[in-house]
Amino acid sequence: MNHHSKTALIIPAAGSGERLGANLPKALVQVAGRSLIEHAIYRLAPIATQIIIAAPAGYEAKFSELFGQSATVVTGGVTRTQSVKRALAALSPEIEYVLVHDAARAFATLDLAERVLAELVGGQLAVIPGLALADTIKTVNAEGYVTSTPDRASLRGVQTPQGFSRATLEKAHQLSSDLTDDAGLAEELGIKVKVIAGEEAAFKVTTPSDMKRAIELQVEDSHADIRAGIGTDAHAFSADPSRPMWLAGLQWPEVVGVDGHSDGDVAAHAICDALFAASDLGDLGSNFGTSDPQYAGAAGATLLKETLARLTRAGFAILNISVQIVGNKPKIGARRTEAAAALSQALGGAIVSVSATTTDGLGFTGEGKGISAIASALVVRR
Ligand code: CTP
Ligand code: MG
């Protein structure tokens, strides 16, 4: 059993970004062509089966538009604690582990999230990333005089994602306290909070100078190890009129399905092949086996999820995917966005675009004998 299927990611993103001073909520401010919340979610999406965003009041539709079905959007509260509390109310029943992650820490890596989750799976109830401090810290009174100098060696600057067992986080949020992180609430409950090594990349975008740092980081990132892959698949329409048509993660009731060992979703299969090719992990057959009984009748979405898990384990992340469906039927146009959202959801929120074409009566697709798909994938090695 994969622990990601029991994990939710909560993103408090309802702050206004007072200190940054942009004229829109901080989570929507762009760095290198993407908003901070998109950076945060695209990096960490593979860790979770459910993503819940707390959006600033009035911006819910804007956030829903960005992520479609791959995320649940709730209205945030007046404070961060209240925003997380509202997101918690939307957790699905199967969730056992919850990672809470600031939209403002947009560049935290999947590796950090995986290390937090691994501690939870190992039995910890509350896990937070922390870094040693470079500056000496003083506590200061209202008049501006130092009141104490805590020992720096025992201090940590803490980050997100902060991970909790579901029960721990729900209990912590029943307290009336309002704090700047969730671990503080767990501490009040007397829960032992485990600190693991944080990372520089998980810094919080707070001020305009943090913004400059974020932009520089993205420029460096553009020299990353980026790889492309292609994949195709084809199936013949079935002679069995009761065979359901599955395509791009959706069922198409007006069309008879195709023959095949799995559900015959050519779009999903072409994408799996493109992803395996881009990351040099073989192909659909070598990964899932055309005769393996485990995958008999397997849904396209299941294969996509498993492909993503294998890619992630091998150190790759998806940048974007494009898939073109070739055939006379079904007509894709009216459900194009829905299809892209279904594929994206199965791939942890990755950017997926769907297009379709006919072949002017030529070939097996033009003659209406079957359907095919061609996909390209761009991935980056972390
Ligand atoms: N946050 C939230 N709900 C609030 C306040 C903050 O969900 N009522 C979120 C922010 O969107 C951010 C995270 O909590 O992702 C950390 O907060 P911070 O960095 O302080 O963001 P802002 O509150 O937006 O910034 P500022 O304090 O400068 O206004
Ligand atoms: Mg704030």
CATH of the domain at 205: 3.90.550.10
- Confidence bin at 32 (pLDDT 50/70/90): confident
Q: Mark whether 51 and 140 lie in a shared domain.
A: yes
Q: How far apart are CA 164 and CA 181, in angstroms?
A: 12
| Ligand with smallest separation from the Cα of 25 | 1
Q: Whose CA is nearest to atom 8 of ligand 1?
A: 79
| Ligand with smallest separation from the Cα of 12 | 1
pLDDT at 52: 98
The residue whose CB lies within 8 Å of the most ligand 1 atoms, and thus the one to mutate among 29, 80, 182, is: 80
- Tell which of 171, 194, 218 closes a domain: 218
Measured in Å, residue 16 CA sits from the centre of ligand 1 at 6
Average pLDDT estimate for 197-209: 96
| Ligand with smallest separation from the Cα of 83 | 1
Q: How far apart are CA 304 and CA 322, in angstroms?
A: 14
Average pLDDT over the chain, rounded to whole?
A: 94
Q: Mark whether 34 and 166 lie in a shared domain.
A: yes
Average pLDDT estimate for 291-310: 87
Q: Mark whether 239 and 322 lie in a shared domain.
A: yes
| Ligand with smallest separation from the Cα of 13 | 1
pLDDT at 292: 74
- Confidence bin at 223 (pLDDT 50/70/90): low
pLDDT at 295: 77
Measured in Å, residue 130 CA sits from the centre of ligand 1 at 19
Q: Mark whether 151 and 168 lie in a shared domain.
A: yes
Question: What predicted TM-score, i.e. pTM, was given to this entire model?
Answer: 0.65
- More confident position, 115 or 224: 115
Q: Which percentage of the chain shows pLDDT scores above 90?
A: 84
- Confidence bin at 319 (pLDDT 50/70/90): confident
pLDDT at 382: 67
Q: How far apart are CA 149 and CA 168, in angstroms?
A: 32
Residue 300, CA distances (Å) to 236, 262, 289, 305, 342 in order: 16, 8, 14, 9, 10
Q: Mark whether 63 and 177 lie in a shared domain.
A: yes
Question: Which of 159-163, 305-309, 312-316 has the lowest average pLDDT?
Answer: 312-316
Q: Mark whether 162 and 234 lie in a shared domain.
A: no
* Contact (Cβ atoms closer than 8 angstroms) between residue 369 and residue 328: no
The residue whose CB lies within 8 Å of the most ligand 1 atoms, and thus the one to mutate among 9, 16, 181, is: 16
Residue 124 pLDDT > 70:
yes
Q: Which percentage of the chain shows pLDDT scores above 70?
A: 98
Q: Tens digit of pLDDT for each residue in 45-67?
A: 999 999 999 999 999 999 999 99
- Confidence bin at 169 (pLDDT 50/70/90): very high
Average pLDDT estimate for 351-362: 94
- More confident position, 218 or 21: 21
- Tell which of 218, 233, 267 closes a domain: 218
pLDDT at 168: 98
Residue 1 pLDDT > 60:
no
Q: Mark whether 169 and 240 lie in a shared domain.
A: no
Measured in Å, residue 13 CA sits from the centre of ligand 1 at 6
Question: How many angstroms from the chain centroid is the CA of residue 95?
Answer: 15
Q: Whose CA is nearest to atom 23 of ligand 1?
A: 15
Q: How many domains does the chain have?
A: 2
- Tell which of 218, 244, 278 closes a domain: 218
Average pLDDT estimate for 300-306: 94
Q: Mark whether 198 and 235 lie in a shared domain.
A: no
Q: Mark whether 237 and 183 lie in a shared domain.
A: no
**Domain residue limits at 285:** 225-381
Q: Where are the beta strands (DSSP E) in the chain?
A: 7-12, 30-31, 34-35, 50-55, 72-75, 97-100, 126-132, 139-140, 146-148, 156-158, 162-165, 193-197, 225-236, 244-247, 250-256, 316-326, 352-357, 370-381
The residue whose CB lies within 8 Å of the most ligand 1 atoms, and thus the one to mutate among 20, 23, 26, 180, is: 26
Residues lining ligand 1, CB < 6 A? Answer: 12-20, 26-27, 54, 76-80, 83, 102-104, 204, 206
| Ligand with smallest separation from the Cα of 16 | 1
Q: How far apart are CA 325 and CA 301, in angstroms?
A: 16
Helix (H, G, I), strand (E, B) or coil at 191: coil
CB neighbour list of residue 55: distance below 8 Å, 6 or more residues apart: 13, 14, 27, 62, 63, 73, 74, 75, 76
Q: Tens digit of pLDDT for each residue in 231-284?
A: 999 999 999 999 999 999 999 999 999 998 789 999 999 999 999 999 999 999
Residue 224 pLDDT > 80:
no
Amino acid at the residue 333: G
| Ligand 1 closest atom vs CA 77 | 8
Q: Tens digit of pLDDT for each residue in 236-251?
A: 999 999 999 999 999 9
Residue 366 is part of a domain; what is its CATH number?
3.30.1330.50
Q: Mark whether 239 and 337 lie in a shared domain.
A: yes
The residue whose CB lies within 8 Å of the most ligand 1 atoms, and thus the one to mutate among 37, 102, 173, 180, is: 102
- More confident position, 219 or 207: 207
Q: Mark whether 333 and 206 lie in a shared domain.
A: no
- Beta-bridged to residue 371, according to DSSP, are 235
- Confidence bin at 104 (pLDDT 50/70/90): very high
Q: Whose CA is nearest to atom 13 of ligand 1?
A: 102
Helix (H, G, I), strand (E, B) or coil at 129: strand
Q: Whose CA is nearest to atom 6 of ligand 1?
A: 15
Q: Mark whether 204 and 239 lie in a shared domain.
A: no
